[in-house]
A and B are shown apart, each in its own frame.
Chain A
């Protein structure tokens, strides 16, 4: 991360951006100043709602309709971007300042071929002949290292993987050799190994083209990998800025310290194995295959073997992590365990009873003992149902009198750290972290012996994530729960799990104590996963 800073290509001075009336604060961005130098990667770090993307959108003239800059300047190439007309801004967009986004699937037009989407950039600025555009598009796809670029040009976005789509976005942004590249959370939606590759690509391209990169992220691990300089934002203000080393190694502001402390450490404690003679949950030979198409008129059948002969054991009071990238089958396992999905083969013994083969009333009553916490705290709570009913619904369905169930719901809310006045409120009145607490209370309401948490903290900001993880650990100890913790995030797994099963393409490639997995991974895949964790090298260096 050594590059000599030259004169700034972009200078933001006292920028203030007003939010529409009725928002939770008056200004999205207030009194923000920073500079971006040629050939430098500046990370703007903050949690959701910190205003970290706003100044980038302002310089592109892409702010939402009711959000307007009210004071300050953005100087680029001798002119103030905030004073330019739409036509003048349009001329800069894509040519001098380019941008890539978080979700590479939705950032590409689903109905257009890749070639057309990239050559549009030249068309927008009336450059090159159609034939030259084609040649240049191929060159760009080669530069961002897309496998089989000729074929990728003819492909539609849905035919590419997430990482490939983000490479296409980067190719598009590079097309006219811009002076500034804005990358808004470009690796957040990607798997950890893909993220590492994209970070490396952005780093390389910066070195080769000497452009300035403004990298917006919530992830300090990513910052450690890529940043030259860092600006930390909270509530629309920059609370701290400096070189990456200064901010990461010696944070000055409380908020920065809090954020860095909240990152789960990769170091997994070596702890006593939880041993109990009979496991509470035992999975034997679990298989799940997805079939689509086929049938009398459906055309050729497509078969995806999502889970292949999985064996797992879970002791009382133990936390077992199931870790894997997207498509590894980890969520399918979770859904089969609670019979939200029918396994094709295998047994799931829960306290000696085979969940996989129960039917009707027996299945219904067995469900009490195994409950699930979901990833998305917004989608997993019914927006038209009050919190009290959400929590009490399960017990009532199992025959608990309503009054008792609601009294219990109030207790549970306090147990998960919410006020019992929440009983009469609706989900939209709560933040993401609070909703996830409601989700936990709901799972606990049936007094389960096993809880399956499927990416339960993945949608949360890092400081909220830390609180929810603490809550889970605390509850687990108090209630002697067994926990299956499904996650893509190895840092989270290292913090909370006793044992970890690593899944790849439907199979468990490695299973062991968290300590062994992180310190002596056996399979090549586990090693590559661990190496790809952003910020790991820096953490290792600091530890030694």
Chain B
């Protein structure tokens, strides 16, 4: 197992370098000159000023040299400097990362747990009205665009009913401390996390339901019945565990998307996370911040892929052996 993880980490590092390189060239191929944007905002777009800006930020060097400097920096965990925010990119990202992780992890857990549970329930009552209800709701969640669901959630639960706060990470000027602060953040978390989780909740539900039904028809389930086992034990021990395998694969895919995938939600709910940081950096041609966010999301995707593969080995002895 250790050897497997070590090999995978080496592989991940190589892929990461390739991704960074590709991103680097892609961003520089896109139209828009950061020096021009900065100079424009400063209100003095003459050539000498532009040259000065370019020289100051190393934009005048050949692309390959820039790439080399950038990669060299990454190895020392230096993601460059944001010309716009006048801050190291790493600091910017690590400031925002906890908020994003809190939001996306909560959404992940909500969608995985509720989706799988709903799928198990639906499969146990296949063809009955409760199955139809669960499947219909899941289809609704699946088909609703995220930003629309987010706006509706704010409109209903925040504006109309006034149950939950509709934006931000915590109450501005609330100055809560300790447990009160935790409760305050949790209240702010409920709407964005649930909205963000809706789509995958539906996907987990459908996949769990289909997988449970398929596994139920397999021979070993008949063996289990022939032993005289109770249906509840058969469902839990024989069907559910085997049905979980495709769900684990999907969860790995979702987990990988968590960091980069919350741009819309963070924008609608004014959540101070990486998604919003990226959105702002894009508008401002802040290359280094964009590259930094891409780097961190790519690293997360690879990390969660690795975790999924390890989990798979834990769940399925056949993979462990091969």
B222's partner among A62, A91, A95, A158 (CB-CB below 8 A) is A62
- Please name all residues of chain B whose beta carbon is closer than 8 Å to the beta carbon of A108 when the two chains form the complex: 220, 223
B238's partner among A92, A109, A297, A299 (CB-CB below 8 A) is A109
Which residues of B have CB within 8 Å of A125?
A: 228
Q: Is residue B257 within 8 Å, beta carbon to beta carbon, of the partner chain?
A: no
Counting chain A CB atoms within 10 Å of each CB, the highest count among B3, B223, B241 belongs to B223
B11 touches A103 (CB 8 A): no
Contact B318 A110 (CB under 8 A): yes
With A92-B228, A297-B7: A156-B238 Cβ-Cβ less than 8 Å: no
User: A106-B218, A110-B318, A297-B10 are known contacts. Are A90 and B223 too (CB-CB below 8 A)?
Assistant: no
User: Least Cβ distance of B111 to chain A in Å?
Assistant: 24
Closest to A61 in B: B225
Whose C-beta in chain A lies nearest to the C-beta of B229?
A: A124
> Which residues of chain B (234-273) have a CB below 8 Å from chain A?
237-238, 241-242
- How many angstroms between the C-alpha atoms of A99 and B219 in the bound complex? 12
Chain B nearest CB: distance from A496 CB in Å? 33
Residues of A within 8 A of B228 (CB): 90-95, 121, 124-125
Closest Cβ–Cβ distance, residue A357 to chain B (whole Å): 33
Interfacial chain A residues near B241, Cβ < 8 Å? 111
**The residue from B229, B242, B317 contacting A158, defined by CB atoms under 8 A apart:** B317
Q: Which among B219, B224, B316 is the interface contact of A111 at CB below 8 angstroms?
A: B316
Using a CB–CB distance below 8 Å, which chain B residues touch chain A?
3-4, 7-8, 10-11, 218-220, 222-230, 233, 237-238, 241-242, 315-318, 321-322
Contact pick for B224, options A120, A293, A297, A299, CB 8 Å: A120
Residues of A within 8 A of B4 (CB): 299
Residues 281-308 of chain A, each 1 if its beta carbon lies under 8 Å from chain B, else 0: 0000000000011000101000000000
User: CB of A98 within 8 A of chain B?
Assistant: yes
A120 touches B219 (CB 8 A): no
- Contact pick for A124, options B10, B230, B316, B321, CB 8 Å: B230
Q: How far is the CA of A95 from the CA of B11 in the complex (A)?
A: 53
Check: A169 CB closer than 8 A to any chain B CB: yes
Residues of B near A159 (CB, < 8 A) are: 321
Instruction: Identify A106's interface contact among B220, B225, B227, CB under 8 A.
Output: B220
Residue in A60, A91, A297 whose beta carbon sits within 8 Å of that of B11 in the complex:
A297
Tell me which residues across on chain A come within 8 A of B226, comparing CB atoms: 60, 62, 93-94, 98-99
Q: Cβ of A485 < 8 Å from any Cβ of B? A: no
Q: Does A101 contact B (CB under 8 A)?
A: yes
Give the distance in Å from the alpha carbon of A90 to the alpha carbon of B225 in the complex.
8
B residues in contact with A170, CB < 8 Å: none
A1 contacts partner chain B, Cβ-Cβ < 8 Å = no
Closest residue of B by beta carbon distance from A92: B228
Indicate whether A62 sits within 8 Å of B225 (C-beta atoms), given known contacts A106-B220, A297-B7, A299-B4.
Answer: yes
- Complex contacts, A123 vs chain B, CB 8 Å: 229
B220 surroundings in chain A (CB, below 8 A): 106-110
Q: Is the CB of A111 within 8 A of B242?
A: yes
Q: Report the minimum CB–CB distance from B262 to chain A (whole Å).
A: 31
Interface centre among A62, A111, A172, A297 (most CB of B within 10 A): A111
Contact B317 A111 (CB under 8 A): yes
Give, as a whole number of angstroms, the nearest-CB distance from B104 to chain A: 29
A297 partner residues in chain B, CB cutoff 8 A: 7-8, 10-11
Query: In the assembled complex, how far is the CB of residue B321 from the closest CB belonging to chain A, in whole angstroms?
Result: 7
Distance (whole angstroms) from the CB of A520 to the closest CB of chain B: 42
Is there an interface contact between B219 and A101, defined as CB atoms closer than 8 Å?
Answer: yes
- The number of inter-chain residue pairs (CB within 8 angstroms) is 84
Query: Which residues of A in the span 143-162 have a Cβ within 8 Å of any Cβ on B?
Result: 156, 158-159
Q: A124-B227, A124-B230, A297-B11 are in contact. Are A103 and B219 (CB under 8 A)?
A: yes
Interface pairs (29), CB distance under 8 Å: A60-B226, A90-B228, A90-B229, A92-B228, A93-B228, A94-B226, A94-B229, A95-B228, A99-B223, A101-B223, A107-B220, A108-B223, A109-B242, A111-B241, A111-B315, A111-B316, A111-B317, A112-B237, A112-B238, A120-B237, A121-B228, A124-B227, A124-B228, A156-B321, A159-B321, A172-B227, A297-B10, A297-B11, A299-B4
Q: B4, B7, B223, B227 — which one has the most chain A CB atoms within 10 A of its CB?
A: B227
Q: How far is the CB of A57 from chain B (nearest CB, A)?
A: 9
- What 1/0 flags go to A35-73 for Cβ under 8 Å of B? 000000000000000000000000010100000000000
The answer to whether B3 touches A299 (Cβ under 8 A) is: yes
Closest A residue, CB atoms, query B242: A111
A99 to B222 Cα, complex, angstroms? 10
Instruction: Report the bound CA distance from A90 to B234 in whole Å.
Output: 12
State the CA gap A110–B11 with chains docked (Å): 30
A292 CA to B11 CA, complexed, in Å: 18
Task: Please pick, from B7, B10, B219, B230, the residue contacting A90 in the complex, using a CB distance under 8 A.
Answer: B230
**Chain B residues with CB below 8 A from A156, complex form:** 317-318, 321
Q: Quick one: closest B residue to A110, CB to CB?
A: B318
Instruction: Write out the residue numbers on chain B whose beta carbons fall within 8 Å of the beta carbon of A107.
Output: 219-220, 222-223
Residues of B within 8 Å of A299, CB to CB, are: 3-4, 7
A172–B224 Cα distance when bound, in Å, is 10
Determine how close the nearest CB of chain B comes to the CB of A317; give it in whole angstroms: 44
Q: Return A436 CB to nearest CB of chain B, in Å.
A: 26
CB neighbours (8 Å) of B321 from chain A are 156, 158-159
Closest 8 A/B residue pairs (Cβ):
A94-B228, A93-B228, A106-B219, A94-B227, A156-B317, A124-B228, A99-B226, A107-B219
**Across the interface, which residues of B come within 8 angstroms of A120, CB to CB?**
224, 227, 229, 237
Other than the given A60-B226, A109-B238, A121-B228, 8 more pairs (CB < 8 A) read: A93-B228, A94-B226, A111-B315, A120-B224, A156-B318, A158-B317, A169-B223, A297-B11
Chain A residues whose C-beta falls within 8 Å of the C-beta of B315 in the assembled complex: 111
Inside 8 A of B230's CB, which chain A residues have their CB? 90, 124
Q: Tell whether, in the assembled complex, residue B229 and residue A101 are in contact, meaning their CB atoms are under 8 Å apart.
A: no
Q: How far is the CA of A161 from the CA of B222 in the complex (A)?
A: 21
* Set A93, A169, A293: member contacting B225, Cβ < 8 A: A93
Q: Collect the chain A residues with CB atoms within 8 Å of residue B316's CB.
A: 110-111
B93 shortest CB reach to chain A, Å: 29
Q: How far is the CA of A292 from the CA of B318 in the complex (A)?
A: 15
Which chain A residue lies CB-closest to B239?
A109
In angstroms, Cα B229 to Cα A172, docked, is: 13
Chain A residues 166 to 212 lying within 8 A of chain B, measured CB to CB, are 169, 172
Nearest Cβ on chain B to A125's Cβ, whole angstroms: 6
Mask: chain A, 109-128; 1 = CB below 8 Å from B; 0 = not: 11110000000110111000
A190 to chain B, nearest CB (A): 15
Name which residue of chain B comes closest to A173, CB basis: B226
Residues of B within 8 A of A91 (CB): 228
In the assembled complex, the Cα of A37 lies from the Cα of B110 at a distance in Å of: 58
Cα A166 to Cα B4 in complex, Å, equals 33
**Once bound together, how far apart are the Cα atoms of A108 and B222, in whole Å?**
10
Shortest C-beta distance, B25 to chain A (Å), equals 25
CA distance A124 to B227 in the complex (A): 7
B223 touches A93 (CB 8 A): no
Min Cβ gap A388→B in Å is 34
* Complex Cα–Cα for A159 and B320 (A): 12
The answer for the CA separation of A109 and B237 in the assembled complex, in Å, is 10
Whole-angstrom distance from the CB of A290 to the nearest CB of chain B?
Answer: 13
